[in-house]
């Protein structure tokens, strides 16, 4: 991103966004600045080079990096490496930190989420914030969500430095439009702990609008609606674009609406189908103390992710897992219409936010 792009983002009242946040610091044109999309499930990093934004690939040669960390014995695994062992080491895998950062343990949304987390989440007695609990070699370690974001950002900084060939010290980071001040400040603090100075925090849909405007240069005034349904959060924003100026007309969002919620609908459906067998109807597969049931849940979690993807281009998918629980095989078929019905209220939530954004923008 050029140094003037984010200075020209304005709100409807024509005040620059930077007036509501930290003032934009002076920028050395020779010093590389990366842009980071710190997503709930995946991250992406880019740099503005030769007048175009270029994605920096990670150490696996991929353009996106899973936003998770696994503790395997005494080794900390990141990104793709962590994802490869996530389902066999789920109780030591820390993911979805973006849904917890800047929140308190007793927040109703946090309580709703942690039921589905494979890893144990506890309340820190001093800060009252959620912590991941890792049990490794009979020792216990505790990580705040800010620690996980910091470790992920440190890894991003490392492979970005290797990719560019210059040490990276500064970054622009995107966050959901609905993030509150606590969540924004903890994101900045995570970056600081990773050795990065945050030049600017930009709302994700605004960043998307800048990218759209950059690729579709036009001096005519346009109004653009950004629909950003990510892995864990949802944003909808309406912006007016005129040349290189961007005016935010409205922003709405849901901090707990994303791909993970669509996955969970499928997981719960599969569990309900399996529990139609009378001998399994009272089994709590979310009970972390029931090792066999919990292991079965992780297998279901892995399979349903694939099924969701397959239903994007197939009308019907056959589900077949051998010895799912207590040597019981499980088979069933689901079609796209069934799945869409399961998720109908999630789709409806998206359109409620669109209506809110249109009303706020007086459109």
Confidence at 29, pLDDT banded by 50, 70, 90: low
CA dihedral 15, 35, 224, 361 (to 10 degrees): -40
Share of the chain above pLDDT 70, in %: 92
d(CA 84, CA 78): 10
Confidence of residue 138 (pLDDT cuts 50, 70, 90): confident
Q: Are residues 221 and 265 located together in one domain of the fold?
A: no
What b-and-e string marks burial along 24-51, b requiring 16 or more CB atoms within 10 Å of the CB? Answer: eeeeeeeebbbbbbbbbbbbbbbbbeee
Q: Please give the residue range of the domain that contains residue 104.
A: 87-148
Spatial CA neighbour of 350 closest among 252, 211, 209: 252
- Considering the domain architecture, whether residues 338 and 189 belong to the same structural domain is answered as no
Identify the helix (H) or strand (E) that includes residue 291.
helix 291-310
- 214-266 confidence digits (pLDDT tens): 888 888 899 999 999 998 889 999 999 988 888 999 998 888 899 999 999 99
| 40 and 182 co-located in one domain | yes
Q: Decide which of 117, 148, 179 is a domain's last residue.
A: 148
| Per-residue pLDDT band at 11 (split at 50, 70, 90) | very low
Q: What is the pLDDT of residue 147?
A: 95
Active site residues: 37, 98, 204, 228
pLDDT above 50 for 15: no
Q: pLDDT by residue (tens digit) across 209-225? A: 888 888 888 888 999 99
CA quadruple 111, 115, 121, 123: dihedral sign: positive
Please state the rounded mean pLDDT for residues 16-31.
Answer: 48
Confidence of residue 341 (pLDDT cuts 50, 70, 90): very high
Domain holding 194: CATH number? Answer: 3.30.420.40
Total number of domains in the chain: 3
State whether 158 and 249 are in the same domain: yes
Q: Is 210 strand, coil or helix?
A: helix
Rg (CA), the chain: 22
> What is the CATH classification number for the domain harbouring 272?
3.90.640.10
263: tokens are 């996955």
Percent of the chain past pLDDT 90, that is, above it, reads 48
Torsion, Cα 209 213 214 217, to 10 degrees, reads 180
- Say if residue 230 is in the same domain as residue 166: yes
Per-residue pLDDT tens over the stretch 186-211 = 999 999 999 999 999 999 988 988 88
Choosing from 211, 231, 253, the residue where a domain stops is 253
Tell whether 74 is covered by a domain: no
CATH of the domain at 130: 3.30.30.30
- Round the average pLDDT of the chain to a whole number and report it: 86
| pLDDT value for 332 | 83
Q: What SS3 state is found at 123? A: strand
- With a cut of 90, say whether residue 123 has pLDDT above it: yes
- For the entire predicted model, the pTM comes to 0.83
Grade residue 310 by pLDDT with cuts at 50, 70 and 90: very high
């Amino acid at each position: 991103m050029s140094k003037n792009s984010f200075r020209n983002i304005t709100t409807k009242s024509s005040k620059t966004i930077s007036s509501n946040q930290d003032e934009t610091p002076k920028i050395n044109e020779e010093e590389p600045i990366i842009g980071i999309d710190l997503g709930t499930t995946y991250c992406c990093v880019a740099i503005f080079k030769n007048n175009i934004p270029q994605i920096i690939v990670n150490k696996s040669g991929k353009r996106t990096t899973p936003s998770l960390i696994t503790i395997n014995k005494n080794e900390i695994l990141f990104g793709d490496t962590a994802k490869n062992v996530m389902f066999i080491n789920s109780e030591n895998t820390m993911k979805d930190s973006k849904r917890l950062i800047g929140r308190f343990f007793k927040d109703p949304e946090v309580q709703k989420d942690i039921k589905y987390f494979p890893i144990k989440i506890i309340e820190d007695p001093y800060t009252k914030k959620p912590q991941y609990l890792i049990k490794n070699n009979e020792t216990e370690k505790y990580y705040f969500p800010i620690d996980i974001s910091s470790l992920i950002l440190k890894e991003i900084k490392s492979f970005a430095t290797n990719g560019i060939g210059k040490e990276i010290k500064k970054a622009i980071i995107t966050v959901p439009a609905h993030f509150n001040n606590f969540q924004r400040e903890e994101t900045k603090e995570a970056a600081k702990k990773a050795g990065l100075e945050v030049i600017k925090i930009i709302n994700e849909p605004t960043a998307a609008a800048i990218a759209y405007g950059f690729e579709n240069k036009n001096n005519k005034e346009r109004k653009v609606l950004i629909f950003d349904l990510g892995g864990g959060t949802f944003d909808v924003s309406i912006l007016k674009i005129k040349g290189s100026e961007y005016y935010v007309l409205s922003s709405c969002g849901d901090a707990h609406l994303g791909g993970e919620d669509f996955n969970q609908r499928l997981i719960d459906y599969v569990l309900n189908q399996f529990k139609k067998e009378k001998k399994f109807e009272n089994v709590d597969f979310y009970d972390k103390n029931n090792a066999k049931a919990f292991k079965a849940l992780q297998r279901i979690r892995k399979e349903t992710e694939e099924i969701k993807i397959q239903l994007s281009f197939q009308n019907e998918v056959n589900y077949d897992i051998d010895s799912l629980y207590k040597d019981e095989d499980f088979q069933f078929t689901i079609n796209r219409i069934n799945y869409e019905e399961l998720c109908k209220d999630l789709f409806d939530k998206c359109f409620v936010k669109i209506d809110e954004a249109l009303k706020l923008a007086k459109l």
